[in-house]
Structure 1
Amino acid sequence: MSSSDFHCVLDARAQLGECPRWDERERVLYWVDILQPALHRFDPATGVDQVFALPEHIGCFSLREGGGFIAGLRSGVWTLDDSARPVTQLAANPEDVRTSRFNDGRCDAAGRFFAGTIDEPKAGGHAHLYRYADGRLESLSSGLLTSNGLAFSPDGQWLYHSDTPNFTIYRRAYDAATGQSGASEVWARIEPSAEDRGRPDGAAIDAEGYYWSAFYEGSRVVRFAPDGTVDAVYPVPVSCPTMCAFGGDDLRTLYITTARAGRSADELQRQPLAGGLFAMRTDVPGLAEPRWRESA
């Protein structure tokens, strides 16, 4: 499936790199560092990584039709300008912002924005997956620890998301015309061991409808078939890959963000590229990332 292994394209030293997004118009990769809150703009043609600092944690974002971004910050869902400056709060975080922030999210093909939260103490299962529509947040799933891995099948019939600490990926029937979804069902469950605590973090869907999941603390990306079985496994040279995205002019470069927060000094010595941005060529292309439309 791959023509090469993952290699580091940017030694970013991110604390918690996340949410890579390929902008096919600018031919650049946007991504975030949640804990050193900033939106990054990486140009693979020049190797330049431009950093836009933010005043609070940013978990996810989508490109906005017409310019700028929509983003899930700690305090809620915001619009950002072209330099990632917060402009308008569209919806407040309905949870306790002392222990909750927005985490993984993206738009569906119609330009609707979906974003989940993280229960930072991971004690009460207070996180949700939300859809932002008609000026408000609607909860689609509750009782989560870390809402993650949001993706949509190419035909728009399935919505996928994971609860990372519970080692589970869910799916639900999805109506792309209305944005409504059916009941959540377990699609894939990962069995951890004492030696392997790899668990499903951020994800991307390829043009064949296969789901690529970054396994946090698992040093790998796993490609799942549409029936939930494992199709292929790709090693990553650091412990904590966080999310993948297809990019490049042919959408056949798979980019991976990674993290170094919480890693021991010994591990960082053995993995000095932790927190870097990695890339690998793939045989199957991905899909262009939808942009947020205010009218969606």
Structure 2
Amino acid sequence: MTTAQPFACVLDARAKLGESPVWSVAEQALHWVDIKSRALHRFDPATGADTAWTLPEEIGCVGLRKGGGFIAGLRSGLWTLDAEAKPLALLAANPEDTAASRFNDGRADPMGRYLAGTLDEPKAGGKAHLYRFDRRGLTALADGLLTSNGLAFSPDGRILYHSDTPTFTVYRYRYDPATGAATDREVFLRFQPSGDDRGRPDGAAVDSEGCYWTALYEGGRVQRHAPDGTLLSTHPVPARCPTMVAFGGPDLRTLYLTTASAGRPAEELERFPQSGGVFALRVEVPGLPEPLFDPAV
């Protein structure tokens, strides 16, 4: 294991809860959300410009949609949005109690289905789920969760990674790209509330070598793990709460990272004044193009 260069801030956004970065190859731009501010952002690294659109509800995750626009997980359900974040249609209502549940992490699978999980806000009852959405509707893939997170696929699409953040655990499933079935769940990684292994596994991405990059909330770092779980490298973050990574740039060798600032102690924010910013790191191994959500699948 190596401790490599740290992330550098590329957008001092001061987001409350930055999340769900997704790189558009077509636009050469990074889309990301600030959940607590109910905002979808578009960051252009070439100019440094960041455009934000406010939504009527908290937006937990966003994906790129085939034909343009987005799919987004809002508190009320999964919606399509136009290119300027205007809600167009409700695809699937949140089947849980929206007073205590909202959609959180999401990602399209290699065939264009959209996987998205929920967050159980009391974080005590294990009422959150991981869902798959396709033209047949919403199907639960996992239950008994507190905060569904960490979705990522192996390069061949046959392994699905998924975390339950408050339990410090990342799971691995066999995934059938033809059917969208997730089976044979097993523990892939487990972290701790304190010590050298501290941090809660939040959002993630897989690179072209099949290695899993995970942002460790309250751990102040991002880690890269081999497909067998071996820790390969650790990358410090000048923010206590990294939330999710995404590969971008013309060569997909820039690893972008969102972070959070909401609810953090004043002394922590004094030490890490760029908390809530978007950070970036140049890496040797490129990522994979982000699959597009396809409503026809």
Which TM-score applies when normalising by structure 2? 0.97
Whole-angstrom CA distance in 2 between matches of 1:36 and 1:66:
27
State the one-letter code of the partner of 1:16: L
Aligned counterpart, 1:21: 22
Contact 1:4 1:281 in 2 (8 A): no
In the TM superposition, what whole-angstrom CA distance separates every residue of 1:120-151 from its partner, at most 9, and x where no partner exists? 11010100000012342110000000000000
In the TM superposition, what whole-angstrom CA distance separates every residue of 1:85-135 from its partner, at most 9, and x where no partner exists? 111001100001011000001001111100000001101010000001234
Contact 2:39 2:59 in 1 (8 A): yes
Uncovered stretches (5+) of structure 2, i.e. residues with no partner: none
Contact 2:5 2:235 in 1 (8 A): no
Match of 1:268, SS state, is helix
Whole-angstrom CA distance in 2 between matches of 1:15 and 1:76:
22
The range that moved more, 184-193 or 122-131, is 184-193
Cα shift at 1:5: 2.9
State the one-letter code of the partner of 1:150: L
State the one-letter code of the partner of 1:68: G
Q: How many residues align?
A: 296
State the one-letter code of the partner of 1:139: A
Percent identical across equivalent pairs? 64
Aligned counterpart, 2:175: 174
Aligned counterpart, 1:159: 160
Superposition RMSD in Å: 1.4
Task: Tell me, yes or no, if structure 1 residue 205 matches structure 2 residue 209.
Answer: no
In the TM superposition, what whole-angstrom CA distance separates every residue of 1:57-81 from its partner, at most 9, and x where no partner exists? 0011110111110111000000001
Cα shift at 1:200: 0.4
Aligned counterpart, 1:218: 219
Aligned counterpart, 1:283: 284
State the one-letter code of the partner of 2:25: E
Whole-angstrom CA distance in 2 between matches of 1:196 and 1:153:
24
Instruction: Note the 1:74-89 alignment, pairs <5 A.
Output: 74-89=75-90
Cα shift at 1:194: 6.3
In the TM superposition, what whole-angstrom CA distance separates every residue of 1:28-48 from its partner, at most 9, and x where no partner exists? 000000000110000000000
Match of 1:130, SS state, is strand
The range that moved more, 187-196 or 221-230, is 187-196
Whole-angstrom CA distance in 2 between matches of 1:18 and 1:264:
20
Aligned counterpart, 2:55: 54
State the one-letter code of the partner of 1:160: Y
Aligned counterpart, 2:123: 122
Uncovered stretches (5+) of structure 1, i.e. residues with no partner: none
Aligned counterpart, 2:270: 269
Which TM-score applies when normalising by structure 1? 0.97
Whole-angstrom CA distance in 1 between matches of 2:295 and 2:85:
17
